Amino acid sequence: MTTLQTYEIHGDVALITIDSPPVNALGYDVRKAIVDGFEKAAGDSGVNAIVLTCKGRTFFAGADIREFGTTQKSPVLPEVISTIESSPKLTIAAMHGTPLGGGLETALACHYRIALPTTRVGLPEVHLGLLPGAGGTQKLPRLTSVEAALDIITSGRQVKSEEALSLGILDKVCSSEDLVKEALGYANDLVADNAPRVLVRERNDKLAEHKGSAEIFNTFRSKNARRFRGFLAKENITKAIQAAVELPFEEGLMRERELFMELMESRASAAQRHVFFAERETIKIPDIPKTTPVRAIDSVGIVGAGTMGGGIAMNFLSAGIPVTMLEQKQEALDHGISVIQKNYQRSVKSGRMSEAALESCMSLITPSLDYADFSTVDLVIEAVFETMEIKKAVFSSLDAVVKDGCILASNTSYLDINEIATSTSRPQDVIGLHFFSPANIMPLLEVVRGEKSDLEVINTGMRLAKTIRKTPVLSRVGWGFIANRVMKFRSLQADSLVLQGINPETIDKVIYDYGFAMGPIAMKDLVGLDVIGRGSTELTVDSELVSMDRLGQKKNGGYYDYDENRQRTLSPIAMDLIKEVAAKKGVKQITADEDEILARLLYPVINEGAKVLDEGIALRSSDIDIACIKGYNWPVYQGGPMFWANTVGLDNVLNKLREFEQQYGDAFTPSPYLEKLVAEGKEF
Ligand code: 3H9
């Protein structure tokens, strides 16, 4: 018996408790400990029931993802499950925290399930590009319904206790916080009542109505076709649930296994598993020990109530943190606050927020026209016009009024935080907090560390991200920081390809087929061509379109024309303009197939990522992946640019860049760091 398991007897109930921090993942030791416990209880004639529970923050949060891709030692999870299912005693899972994936599948092997009211169960394997591979796809529809199982497993969402009870996943929700006491009491009651041993695998009642008809699955597929695009796991989950309906349990299980193994070997799952760990890695900063203090952020000031300031404010309001919003003019302030209200109202309308929550968020805003109102706040974020002089003036005004220890943050996208910090007497308290538009929605927060930023201030910025439900990525100071800088190279190539005669529609299609929601040209039309080209005097297709008052989707169309349903067709006017601009600039026309176009668009992003790493702007290549995924919706199943580059082969990327450099010049000159990695046979 291992030390991570305790076995106690309470009357005629055996209580098996597993304690394997942080999340009781079902690695080899844990699996062995469960089997040991159940075997012991099976041989114990005084035991009539077994309660399986966990210590720490959660009941098993799933299989141990770190073991994936290695040969797993017996007992593997299906063996654990079959040990539980074949137990001669009555079995009860007592759950708290987040019983997920293999954790919930373990619970589904028990006869009964009880949980705390705060418990959230789920089968989130889809987020790892997988499906529940230990019976989840066969059992959940048997317990709930085919509809519910399709929804829960393809979304991977966490289901709160109350809903789980109503769906039949749980049999009982505790009325107190004492899970073990209630579970033991429940076990006693079940034994006393001679309760039946309910094995989910034997239930077929919920499946009967769909047997012999694929209708529910076909409708589900076509309804979600766009959202599921590129996600093989979602298709395989649908197939596995269909197998649950059509096949006897054991055969369904075998089908589930086949579909699981197909996913496990897929590049998409490898990418999504990379992203799972990469997301959790960003917070780890080598020179900031775990013990570094975090400053309390209980109130926030925001300078600027424009689109960015308003979006940033919403993150804090939604987290229950009061915000003082400053503007120069009452009119601008009123407008900014009314936009926040409208955004929240939209959420209320769509049912994502209650009217009461809206009221409570709005009540946390204090409008202000006076810097002095920032005297007590813990953090100020500046979101004003992107010029150095204005930013410095704002920071110097802040310096004059804020209390000692207040963190001063700039939301600048491109400017030098070190220079901004010189306008204050406290550069140690200055950092960048770079949000991505729309700031209330995009999950990336780049935390920019200045030369003089205090470690405590950086740490606070990184931790704050979790409070406002963002993923932080640390960046050093440098033009565009990480995401904007590397992604700029895709835009430059998109413009260049257009001028070289590649159809804009083809460029958009190539990027869409790669997995982005939208191509770069359609994206320009969405953002607004006037916004994109602001301040530039260069002759470009964008500037020519703007001079014709074609601003994109918002006015007269741009590269595309739009009908009343926002369906787009390539604009003949734009096509003529492209030819004119290309002729004026003397751009040589080319042809290129889709692979070539993809490489032209995305290899420069990888190359710039290599430079960002070489310059120490990003800590690690996986941080660049996360910045692109969370800031630019880089398709998660490609793993981000740097992970993708590894799968393409860095030597292939390098050779292609060299070829492009020969044909098209400096824009493709390979980073010396990339060359070095290839020479050493290494990866990012
Ligand atoms: C599965 O079950 C397949 C089966 O169907 C079939 C098998 C045959 N494994 O997120 P946190 C680590 S697939 C290994 O910061 P939180 C995590 O890396 C699995 N490690 O905490 C981190 O480590 P570190 C299905 C894991 O409180 C630490 O735990 N299950 C695992 O914000 C803390 O994590 C899932 O997909 C794991 N399964 O959130 C659940 N889970 O400190 C995945 C966590 O070194 N997990 N770690 O960085 C989660 O969603 C969240 O971790 C959870 C806690 C909600 C549990």
Among 57, 64, 65, the mutation site with the greatest number of ligand 1 atoms within 8 A of its Cβ is 65
Q: Cα Rg for the chain, rounded, in angstroms?
A: 28
User: Nearest to residue 57, comparing CAs of 10, 14, 25?
Assistant: 25
Q: How confident is the model at residue 533 (pLDDT cuts 50, 70, 90)?
A: confident
Average pLDDT over residues 562-575: 94
> 80 near 44, Cβ under 8 Å?
no
Residue 150: is its pLDDT beyond 60?
Answer: yes
Reading the block at residue 486, the tokens are: 């590397």
CA 298 to chain centre: 26
> 415 near 391, Cβ under 8 Å?
yes
> 304 near 398, Cβ under 8 Å?
no
* Ligand 1 cavity residues, CB under 6 Å: 22-23, 25, 58, 61-66, 77, 98, 100-102, 105, 124-125, 128, 132-134, 136, 280
pLDDT digits (tens, 9 = 90+) for 422-459: 999 999 999 999 999 999 999 999 999 999 999 999 99
**What atom in ligand 1 is closest to the CA of residue 102?**
2
Residues whose CB falls within 8 Å of the CB of residue 221, separated by 6 or more in sequence, listed in order: 228, 235, 238
Instruction: Give me the chain's average pLDDT, please.
Output: 96
472 cis-preceded (ω within 30 degrees of 0): no
Neighbours of 559 (CB within 10 A): 27
Share of the chain above pLDDT 70, in %: 100
pLDDT digits (tens, 9 = 90+) for 179-212: 999 999 999 999 999 999 999 999 999 999 999 9
Instruction: Pick the catalytic residue from 39, 67, 105, 389.
Output: 105
**What atom in ligand 1 is closest to the CA of residue 78?**
8
Average pLDDT over residues 305-333: 97
Pairwise CA distance, residues 483 & 436, whole Å: 9
What's 403's DSSP letter? Answer: P
By alpha-carbon position, which residue is closest to atom 33 of ligand 1?
22
Among 23, 60, 76, the mutation site with the greatest number of ligand 1 atoms within 8 A of its Cβ is 23
Q: Give the Å distance between the CA of 280 and the centre of ligand 1.
A: 10
- 10 Å CB burial of residue 598 (0-12, 13-18, 19+) is middle
Q: How confident is the model at residue 69 (pLDDT cuts 50, 70, 90)?
A: confident
pLDDT digits (tens, 9 = 90+) for 253-281: 999 999 999 999 999 999 999 999 999 99
Q: Give the Å distance between the CA of 98 and the centre of ligand 1.
A: 10
Q: How confident is the model at residue 3 (pLDDT cuts 50, 70, 90)?
A: confident
By alpha-carbon position, which residue is closest to atom 55 of ligand 1?
98
Pairwise CA distance, residues 431 & 420, whole Å: 9
Q: Give the Å distance between the CA of 23 and the centre of ligand 1.
A: 7
What is residue 1's predicted lDDT score, i.e. its pLDDT?
47
| Annotation says 359 is catalytic | no
**What atom in ligand 1 is closest to the CA of residue 103?**
2
Which residue type is seen at 632? Y
Average pLDDT over residues 58-83: 95
Q: Is the dihedral of CA 399, 402, 407, 408 positive or negative?
A: negative
By alpha-carbon position, which residue is closest to atom 28 of ligand 1?
22
Sheet with 430-435: list strands edge to edge. 365-368, 323-326, 300-303, 379-382, 407-410, 430-435, 444-449, 471-476
Share of the chain above pLDDT 90, in %: 97
> 63 near 77, Cβ under 8 Å?
yes
Domains, in order of start, for the chain: 5-264 (3.90.226.10), 300-479 (3.40.50.720), 503-585 (1.10.1040.50)
**What atom in ligand 1 is closest to the CA of residue 276?**
18
Beta strands in 335-452 (DSSP E): 365-368, 379-382, 407-410, 430-435, 444-449
Region of 194 (left: φ > 0; alpha: ψ -120 to 50; beta: rest) is left
Average pLDDT over residues 33-43: 97
Q: Give the Å distance between the CA of 566 and the centre of ligand 1.
A: 41
Q: Give the Å distance between the CA of 613 and the centre of ligand 1.
A: 28
Whole-Å CA distances, 657 to 130, 520, 639, 651:
34, 21, 21, 10
Q: Give the Å distance between the CA of 220 and the centre of ligand 1.
A: 29
| Annotation says 281 is catalytic | no
Average pLDDT over residues 583-608: 97
Residue 534: is its pLDDT beyond 80?
Answer: no
User: Nearest to residue 583, comparing CAs of 545, 543, 539?
Assistant: 539
The model carries a pTM of 0.94
Instruction: Pick the catalytic residue from 8, 79, 85, 125.
Output: 125
What is residue 73's predicted lDDT score, i.e. its pLDDT?
95
